[in-house]
């Protein structure tokens, strides 16, 4: 069992997650797996991202560099969904993008 699976099970058994609770967050590496150093459960996107950016800057990187860390959120069914992909520069990922309306072209 991976460490992240243990963290997730620990959170569930501690009563931190149920069908009506707030979402939990975790950090991921470039390959989409739980981050090998920052493998923890966070109560908010902001607390997760602050931990990731502080860790990145403390490693001597610039705040101008893309951070190779993603953020996932828990679902009610115990799965994880990506909110921010590794190296995404600004904002969170759009989980359900709107489809643009296609205009029909009439033949003349």
pLDDT (0 to 100) of residue 55: 95
Give the number of domains in the chain. 1
35-49 pLDDT tens trace: 999 999 999 999 999
Residue 86 lies in a domain: yes
Distance CA 83, CA 19 (A): 20
Residue 103 lies in a domain: no
Q: What is the mean pLDDT of the chain?
A: 76
Q: Please check whether residue 56 is in contact with residue 71, taking contact to mean a CB–CB distance below 8 angstroms.
A: no
Please say if the pLDDT value at position 91 is more than 80.
no
pLDDT band at 97 (very low <50, low <70, confident <90, very high): very low
Could you tell me where the DSSP H helices lie in the chain? 3-13, 45-58
pLDDT (0 to 100) of residue 29: 93
Please say if the pLDDT value at position 105 is more than 80.
no
Six-digit token string for 106: 């009439």
The contacts found for 78-87 with CB under 8 angstroms, 24 or more apart, are: 78/8, 78/12, 78/17, 80/26, 82/28, 82/32, 83/25, 83/45, 84/45, 84/49, 86/28, 86/29, 86/30, 87/30
What average pLDDT does this structure show over 5-12? 55
Residue 57 lies in a domain: yes
Give the domain extent around 47: 22-94
């Amino acid at each position: 069992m991976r460490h992240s699976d243990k963290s997730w099970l620990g959170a569930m058994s501690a009563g931190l997650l149920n069908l009506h609770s707030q979402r939990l967050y975790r950090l991921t590496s470039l390959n989409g797996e739980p981050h090998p150093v920052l493998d923890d459960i966070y109560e908010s996107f902001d607390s997760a991202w602050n931990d990731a950016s502080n860790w990145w800057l403390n490693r001597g990187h610039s705040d101008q560099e893309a951070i190779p860390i993603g953020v996932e959120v828990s679902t009610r069914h115990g799965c994880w969904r990506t909110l921010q992909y590794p190296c995404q520069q600004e904002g969170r990922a759009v989980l359900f993008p709107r489809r643009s309306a296609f205009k029909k072209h009439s033949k003349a």
